[in-house]
């Protein structure tokens, strides 16, 4: 329902009201009264439909504003990390927290890596290391040995 239809109803109502005031013939006055009532109902219907549309649009705007805020927050979070190679043994990549000098806000955060497939799909998962160069995502199990492990170095030294 558009505003012009609503306004047209009001305009028709005021024309009828003017007729009603000047009308001396009772029968005609009654007919005008009935028409006036019908126009009033029509205008009220238009108004309530218009009000429904406005409420619906306000809800849509609020939900879109929330989505924009969420997207901005996600983008700001992505900016805090940089894709980096982990270790030296394999081509294994993860998102590393940028250095303190590069970050605007950094509250005593320890250096860490985030799982690349998870972070790219919107999940923030810190990689776990076993202390011997093996890094793995605890959620999707994406992982790799990124340095020669102490065991394999010992084996190589021993000629194994
Ligand atoms: Zn993962």
Q: Are residues 152 and 88 in the same domain?
A: yes
Q: Are residues 65 and 125 in the same domain?
A: no
Domain that holds residue 16: 3-74
User: Is residue 87 packed enough to be buried (19+ CB in 10 Å), middle (13-18) or exposed (0-12)?
Assistant: middle
Give me the pLDDT at residue 140, please.
96
Q: From the CA of 104, how far away is ligand 1's center (Å)?
A: 26
Q: From the CA of 146, how far away is ligand 1's center (Å)?
A: 16
For 51-92, the pLDDT digits (tens) are 999 999 999 999 999 999 999 999 999 999 999 999 887 889
Q: Are residues 88 and 138 in the same domain?
A: yes
Residue by residue, DSSP assigns 43-69 as HHHHHHHHHHHHHHHHHHHHHHHHHHH
Q: From the CA of 130, how far away is ligand 1's center (Å)?
A: 16
pTM listed for this prediction:
0.59
Q: Are residues 116 and 69 in the same domain?
A: no
Q: Are residues 63 and 8 in the same domain?
A: yes
Give me the pLDDT at residue 160, please.
47
For 95-134, the pLDDT digits (tens) are 999 988 887 766 678 889 999 999 999 999 999 999 888 9
């Amino acid at each position: 329902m558009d505003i012009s239809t609503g306004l047209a109803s009001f305009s028709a109502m005021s024309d009828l009201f003017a007729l009603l005031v000047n009308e001396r013939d009772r029968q005609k006055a009654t007919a005008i009264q009935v028409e006036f009532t019908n126009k009033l109902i029509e205008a009220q219907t238009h108004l309530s439909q218009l009000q429904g549309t406005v409420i619906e649009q306000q809800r849509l705007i609020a939900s879109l504003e929330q989505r924009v805020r969420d997207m901005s927050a996600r983008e700001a979070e992505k900016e805090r990390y940089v894709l980096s190679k982990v270790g030296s043994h394999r081509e294994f990549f993860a998102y590393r927290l940028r250095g303190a000098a590069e970050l605007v806000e950094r509250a005593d955060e320890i250096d860490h890596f985030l799982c690349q497939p998870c972070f790219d799909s919107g999940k923030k998962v810190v990689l776990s290391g076993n202390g011997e160069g093996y890094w793995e995502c605890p959620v999707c199990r994406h992982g790799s040995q990124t340095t020669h492990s102490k065991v394999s170095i010992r084996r190589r030294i021993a000629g194994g």
